[in-house]
Amino acid sequence: MTATVERDQVQAIAQEVFAAMIDGDLGLLLPWDGDLPTIDDALVAWVDLHGDWSGRAVLVTANDTALDLARVLLDLDPRDDVSRDDLVDALGEIANVVGGNLKSLLPTPGTLGLPHVGDELPPLDGAVRAHHLPLSWRGRLLVVDVWVTTPLNPKEIP
């Protein structure tokens, strides 16, 4: 996996997704600088990839941050209420787009599952975390992880 998709590529995908869908500016999603705070009240969105290469793209952030992401995506005012359905749909769609773009970098065709959102990430049998990117969206922690279950070459696991 690391020979197939590099950390910088994952970061570039996340930044492109946020620039196009959320911020309109590439400079608002940056590598996290400093100690990592604990994410209380986390919301997790993920999408699984299937094929010669299988894995999972994961997005983790605090519920409040997810609410603000949903407000931007849905073109709501900062004080507008966001329903749980809209929150789940919005965060899931971000994970879906990140996962889809990750899939496009793989050397062989595969399929993308439908996005899921929950309070915690369910286990993925045999998976190892290939990339862990703590990012700052407008100063708030947002983590993008990539998990791998069937690397093309076992030596590619970091």
Partner 1 sequence: MKALVIDDSRTMRRIVARALEDLGFEPPLQAEHGRDALDQLEAGAEVDLACIDWNMPVMDGLTFVSQVRANPAWRHITLMMVTTEAEHGQIVRALAAGAHEYLIKPFTTDAIRDKLDLLGLVPAEEHV
With CA atoms as reference, report the closest residue to 73 among 87, 58, 59. 87
With CA atoms as reference, report the closest residue to 17 among 77, 85, 72, 75. 72
With CA atoms as reference, report the closest residue to 44 among 117, 140, 126. 117
Q: Could you say which residues in the range 82-141 bind partner 1, by CB under 8 A?
A: 85-86, 89-90, 92-93, 96-97, 99-101, 103-104, 109, 112, 114-115
Give me the least distance between CB of 117 and partner 1, in Å please. 11
Both tokens assigned to 38: 């604990």
- What are the beta bridge partners of residue 143? 60, 134
Give me the least distance between CB of 131 and partner 1, in Å please. 18
C-alpha 48/C-alpha 57 separation (Å) is 6
Give me the least distance between CB of 119 and partner 1, in Å please. 20
H or E element that contains 137: strand 128-137
Give me the least distance between CB of 46 and partner 1, in Å please. 14
With CA atoms as reference, report the closest residue to 112 among 46, 66, 156. 46
Question: Among 2-10, 36-44, 68-76, 139-147, which window interacts with partner 1 (CB under 8 A)?
Answer: 68-76
Q: Around Cβ 23, how many Cβ atoms within 10 Å?
A: 16
151 binds partner 1 (CB under 8 A): no
Q: Could you say which residues in the range 14-43 bind partner 1, by CB under 8 A?
A: 16-17, 19-21, 24
Q: Which is nearer to partner 1, 107 or 126 (CB)?
A: 107
Footprint of partner 1 on this chain (CB under 8 A)?
Answer: 16-17, 19-21, 24, 70, 73-75, 85-86, 89-90, 92-93, 96-97, 99-101, 103-104, 109, 112, 114-115
